[in-house]
Structure 1
Amino acid sequence: MSAALAIDLGGTNLRAGLSRDSGEPTPLGHWRAPTDLAGFRDRIGGLIGEHAVTRLGIAIPGLAAGTKSAWVPNLPYLDGEDMTDLFPGVRVAIGNDAHMALLAEAALGAARDSDDAILLAIGTGIGSAVLADRRIVRGARGGATSFGWACVDPSDSGDEAHGWLERHASGRALDAIARQQGHGDGAALIAAARSGDADAVRSLETPAAALGTALAGAVALLGTRLVVVSGGVADSLDVLGPMIRRHLVRQLPPHLRAVAIVEGRYGAGASLVGAGLAAQGHALWTGRDG
């Protein structure tokens, strides 16, 4: 099969890799995310030309329908843009970045041996995806399983661009908590908690409670026993995992309390791996998996 260009486009950074088979793509580099459509077209188009690819897989932090980007809150210049119009002559697979991350974990990673799983991609925002009966649930316009919009506070007034859980437990939220505690960012706060700083541990209880309590509803709805965490926060699971699980199991019936929370094999790189697999037409993405 010909080489494919894999792109993981986030609200902050753009990562690229070259996929030549059904495995992990070879990294090509990373850059700041383009701030306008012209910059996006120039960056991707330049990589397509440089590597002479005929297939393109793009993971976006939003919704996609077919080959069109439907809604990307952090990159609104992509809304309504059809990738086949921007990059003619290239076969395109585009999807939500969490769905792409689940593709990587279900095909090659932590969910490889599972028929059912929930993936949480916790980075700048919160993405999610569901594997049900060995199929990735995408829904209308790729909008299924938007877990960042889960809410366990009936008094919350809502927000047009960011869901309740994302506002309370994403990487951005951890950064805000860290600044309040006198730490530089979320990573520094996690490091302090890991070293035994009691104040840091206490400050993490709020986002952990939000994640665990909201996650209980998803686990109960789906009956899954596996939660895979990817994204930039995945390497903090040694600190956050037990805290999240404590709140999670408290809201579950006995037969679901064995649910495991595990770190994804690919961490923050899962969406790039998934984009390469989607570009290569992996059966889990095309729906041909039996």
Structure 2
Amino acid sequence: MTPSSAVLAIDIGGTKFAAAIVAPDGEIHRAGRIATPPTADADELWHTLSSLIDHICEGESVSGVGIGCGGPMTWPGGEVSPLNMAGWRRFPLRAQLAVRFPGVPVRIHNDAICVAVAEHWRGAGKGTRNMLGMVVSTGVGGGLILGDRVIDGGTGNAGHIGHVIVEPEGPACGCGGRGCLEAVARGPAVAAWALDHGWRPVTPEIHDDAYREYGSATARRLAADALIGDEIALAAMARAGHALGLAIASATHLCDLDLVTIGGGVSQAGAPLFGPLEVTLREHARMDFSRRLHVVPAALGQDAGLVGAAALVLAGDRYWSPGDGPWSSGDGSPGE
């Protein structure tokens, strides 16, 4: 790897900032993460991220910067307002990084889309032309790859499967609607349903910072209890799997998909989640073309967000196409 070929990848999460130097083949050569200050204001959050970047980029010359960040955001301009990060509201993250790294591409996308891109580029979806990559964690998000290219939509939110309706009279969702997939299948919702139905954790308490952003340790304990046969935990995972199966059946009929990958902490429940998902999917995906769909666990784990962010630069011909909207430059810079 020559210095000029390295890309800085950044993954912005509610509990951690992660950054890495990524080679052209998607290999991570240096990575670090730092806890997101829980009550920080905009300046403190930026200082925290800058300190991490200083550490990761020491002695490195980068040829571009790719960022994955939770929404909402203006895209591709890159003013971010992550729901779980109150200190940043319309914070000009892309612009700040462009000043920090002048003369190179600085590209930002939704974090779930970056995960989907990573799985298509270097993960479980490699070699697949048409896929949906999903993250089921604190929320439920996704990204669409059709015809071997990322699909952005008008505002960069295409593939947001978390707000497909799976229970029309179901629970309220944070978006203001009811019965969204996210309201049923995200980690905290699955755990809350189980607790409401009498579940009391059997497995020991989990202290694992790597999973804090994936629906809390409570959801991980629920998954662990399901794997050892706890009836309420199994019922909670089956309910989530049923909702996922319904949403995926709708998505494949709409988009003619070959593959769906599912990552995030809730997906680590394994068979108690994927079994009911598969049953529901096959009950509802009855068209001949939809029967060929395969649903598999994501392959890249914690590194997916960084790998996908890097791909915005390293494989931009497939994964970066903001078009001719109000931001006309290919790097998300304001048009003249």
Say if 2:157 is the partner of 1:168: no
Equivalent residue in structure 2 for 1:78, among 76, 88, 91: 88
Aligned-pair CA distance for 1:152:
2.5
Q: CA RMSD in A?
A: 2.4
Aligned-pair CA distance for 1:235:
2.7
Counterpart residue type for residue 120 of structure 1: M
Equivalent residue in structure 1 for 2:65, among 56, 70, 73: 56
Aligned-pair CA distance for 1:205:
2.0
Task: Tell me which moved more, 184-193 or 126-135.
Answer: 184-193
Report the secondary structure of 1:192's partner residue. helix
Counterpart residue type for residue 114 of structure 2: M
- Cross-structure match for 2:254: 221
Aligned-pair CA distance for 1:207:
1.4
- Cross-structure match for 1:41: 46
% identical equivalent positions: 26
Question: Could you tell me whether the CA contact under 8 Å between 1:135 and 1:287 is conserved in 2?
Answer: no
- Cross-structure match for 1:150: 164
Q: Kindly tell me: are residues 126 and 162 of structure 1, through their superposed partners in 2, closer, same or farther at Cα, counting changes over 3 Å? A: farther
- 2: distance between equivalents of 1:131 and 1:125? 20
**TM-score, with length taken from structure 1:** 0.88
- How far does the alpha carbon of each residue in 1:19-50 deviate from its partner, in whole angstroms, 9 at most, with x for none? 13331323532232244321221122223333
Report the secondary structure of 1:140's partner residue. coil
Counterpart residue type for residue 277 of structure 1: A
- Cross-structure match for 2:314: 280
- 2: distance between equivalents of 1:238 and 1:209? 13
Aligned-pair CA distance for 1:76:
4.6
Q: Kindly tell me: are residues 178 and 25 of structure 1, through their superposed partners in 2, closer, same or farther at Cα, counting changes over 3 Å? A: farther
Structure 2: give runs of 5+ residues left out of the alignment: 206-217, 323-336
Question: Could you tell me whether the CA contact under 8 Å between 2:10 and 2:17 is conserved in 1?
Answer: yes
Equivalent residue in structure 2 for 1:30, among 23, 29, 33: 33
Question: Could you tell me whether the CA contact under 8 Å between 2:80 and 2:93 is conserved in 1?
Answer: no
- How far does the alpha carbon of each residue in 1:1-35 deviate from its partner, in whole angstroms, 9 at most, with x for none? 34332121122222222213331323532232244
**TM-score, with length taken from structure 2:** 0.77
Report the secondary structure of 1:101's partner residue. helix
For CA contacts below 8 A with separation 6 or more, give which structure has more relative contact order.
1
Task: Tell me which moved more, 39-48 or 62-71.
Answer: 62-71
- How far does the alpha carbon of each residue in 1:75-94 deviate from its partner, in whole angstroms, 9 at most, with x for none? 35434333343231424211
Counterpart residue type for residue 310 of structure 2: G
- Cross-structure match for 1:4: 7
- 1: distance between equivalents of 2:35 and 2:303? 16
Number of corresponding residues: 288
- 1: distance between equivalents of 2:144 and 2:10? 21
Structure 1: give runs of 5+ residues left out of the alignment: none
- Cross-structure match for 2:294: 260
Q: Tell which structure's C-alpha radius of gyration is larger.
A: 2
Say if 2:52 is the partner of 1:14: no
